[in-house]
Amino acid sequence: MTQLSSEFDLIARHFTKPAANAVLGVGDDCALVDVTNGMDLAVSTDTMVSGTHFFPDVDPENLGHKTLAVNLSDIAAMGAMPYWAMLALTLPTVDHPWLKAFAKGFFDLAAEYNVSLIGGDTTRGPLTITVTIMGQVPTGAALRRNGAKVGNDVWVSGNVGDAALAVAHRHGKIVLRERDYREAVMRLYEPTPRVALGQALRGMATSAIDISDGLIADLGHICRLSGVGATVELGSIPVSEIGARHFNDDAGLTAIVAGGDDYELCFTAPANSRESIADLTDVLGVPLTRIGQIKRGKGVSLLGADGKPMKIDGRGYDHFSGT
Ligand code: ADP
Ligand code: MG
C-alpha cells in the first residue's frame, strides 16, 4: 500500500539490487524463488521496534546489520542455509542519509551470506523493522527445539553476556569501563549469526536454539519442547574478558545468564559426539563449550561452584510479562 509519497523512489534508491538467488526480485506483486527438490523451506520473521529492541539513537548502519543478523541467526539455529530476505520498513520520516546507512549495514551482511533482498513493504509510522528470512534445509534434517534427550550434553557457541552487559550499562544497572562498553555494545548491534555452525551440527545436535532471550530462558524453551530438564554449571559458562570482570556482581551475572541478544547457539548432543564437536571448533574457528546436562524433569537449574542450585532471575525477555 502506498503511504509514503516517495515510497517508490525510496525503494528504488535504497533497496533494489539484483536478486542473484531469485527468479524474480523487488518490483512485482510477489517475488519468485525456485525451491530445490528434497529441501524444506525454512522461514522466519523478526520485528524490531525502536525503543523496545534497539535504542532510538542507534547508528543506522549497525541497525541494518542487526535486523538481518537476528534473522540469519534463526536460520542458523535450524541448521538451514539462508537465501532470501523480505524487508518491511515503517518509518516516521524519509531520511535519505539514514536510509543509505541502514541499507549499507543490511546489504553488507547480506553479501557475506549470499542473501538476496527480494521484496518488502514500506509505510509511515513509528520506526519498526520486520525482516522475513527464507532458507533451505535438506528434508528432515532441520535442528529443532524438541529433540533433546536425557543424558545429552548442553553446549553453547562463542561466549555469552556481552550484549546484555551493554544494555545493563545503558540502564545504569552496572558500570562498564568506557572501552568495555564500546566493545560490548558492538556485540549488541553487530552479532555474528552462527550460520556455518548450524549447518555443521546437522546430524550431530539433537536440538538447537539461538540465544535471543537469554541463555537460561532459551535453554528452557528446548527443555519445555523436549519434555526434559537441564542443569547448567555456572562456572562453565563461557564469557569474554568483560564478562569475567562482572561475573561476581549480581547485576552482571544476571545479565550473563538471563540477558539476551547474544545470538550464539545453544544446542544439545549425545556424549559420543564430544570429539566431533570439539573438531568443529577448529574447523569453524568458533569456540564450543559444554555447559551442562539434560536431565529428567523440567526447567533449567543453574549450579553454583558448590554444585548447589542457585536462584537467579532467568526468565529472559518476555514482551507481555506483567501486562
Ligand atoms: P504492493 O502495492 O503490491 O504492496 P509495494 O508498492 O508495497 O507493492 O512494493 C513494490 C515492490 O517493492 C514490491 O515488489 C515490494 O516487494 C518491494 N518493496 C517494497 N518495500 C520494500 C523494501 N523496504 N525493501 C525491499 N523491497 C521493497
Ligand atoms: Mg506494499
Protein residue with least CA distance to atom 13, ligand 1? 27
Instruction: Name residues with Cβ closer than 5 Å to ligand 2, which is an ion.
Output: 121
- Quick one: pLDDT band at residue 134, thresholds 50, 70, 90? very high
Q: What is the pTM of this model?
A: 0.93
Task: Indicate which ligand has the atom closest to the C-alpha of 87.
Answer: 1
What digits encode the pLDDT tens for the residues 28-81?
Answer: 999 999 999 999 999 999 999 999 999 898 999 999 999 999 999 999 999 999
Cell of 237: 559458562
pLDDT at 251 over 70: yes
Share of the chain above pLDDT 70, in %: 95
- Quick one: pLDDT band at residue 2, thresholds 50, 70, 90? very low
Protein residue with least CA distance to atom 3, ligand 1? 29
Protein residue with least CA distance to atom 22, ligand 1? 120
Superfamily name and number for 7-138: PurM-like, N-terminal domain (3.30.1330.10)
Q: How many CA atoms lie within 13 A of 318 on its CB side?
A: 13
pLDDT at 3 over 60: no
Residue 87: phi and psi, rounded to 5, are: -130, 115
Residue 208: the pLDDT is 98
For the purposes of burial, counting CB atoms within 10 Å of the CB of 147, is it exposed (0-12), middle (13-18) or buried (19 or more)?
middle
Residue 134: phi and psi, rounded to 5, are: -130, 140
Residue 5: the pLDDT is 56
Instruction: Tell me how far the alpha carbon of residue 16 lies from the centroid of ligand 1, in angstroms.
Output: 10
Task: Indicate which ligand has the atom closest to the C-alpha of 17.
Answer: 1
Cell of 17: 539490487
Any ligand 1 atom below 6 A from CB of 215: no
Q: Mean pLDDT, to the nearest integer, of 92-109? A: 97
* Pairing mode of beta strands 229-233, 299-303: parallel
Q: Mean pLDDT, to the nearest integer, of 310-322? A: 60
- C-alpha to C-alpha distance for 78 and 112, rounded to whole angstroms: 19
Q: Choose between 53 and 3: higher pLDDT.
A: 53
- C-alpha to C-alpha distance for 71 and 263, rounded to whole angstroms: 10
Residue 4: the pLDDT is 53
Inter-residue contact 159 to 264 (CB < 8 Å): yes
- C-alpha to C-alpha distance for 69 and 216, rounded to whole angstroms: 21
- C-alpha to C-alpha distance for 208 and 156, rounded to whole angstroms: 10
- C-alpha to C-alpha distance for 223 and 298, rounded to whole angstroms: 7
Q: Mean pLDDT, to the nearest integer, of 292-301? A: 96
DSSP H or E segment with residue 241: helix 241-245
What digits encode the pLDDT tens for the residues 266-281?
Answer: 999 999 999 999 999 9
Task: Indicate which ligand has the atom closest to the C-alpha of 19.
Answer: 1
Residue 310: the pLDDT is 87
Q: Mean pLDDT, to the nearest integer, of 107-124? A: 97
Domain ranges of the chain: 7-138, 153-310
Instruction: Tell me how far the alpha carbon of residue 5 lies from the centroid of ligand 2, in angstroms.
Output: 13
Per the DSSP assignment, residues forming a β-bridge with 129 are 48, 89
pLDDT at 156 over 80: yes
CA neighbor of 262 nearest in space, from 197, 184, 149: 184
CATH topology of domain 153-310: Phosphoribosyl-aminoimidazole Synthetase; Chain A, domain 2 (3.90.650)
Residue 322: the pLDDT is 40
pLDDT at 261 over 60: yes
- C-alpha to C-alpha distance for 97 and 99, rounded to whole angstroms: 5
Residue 305: the pLDDT is 84
Per the DSSP assignment, residues forming a β-bridge with 156 are 266, 289
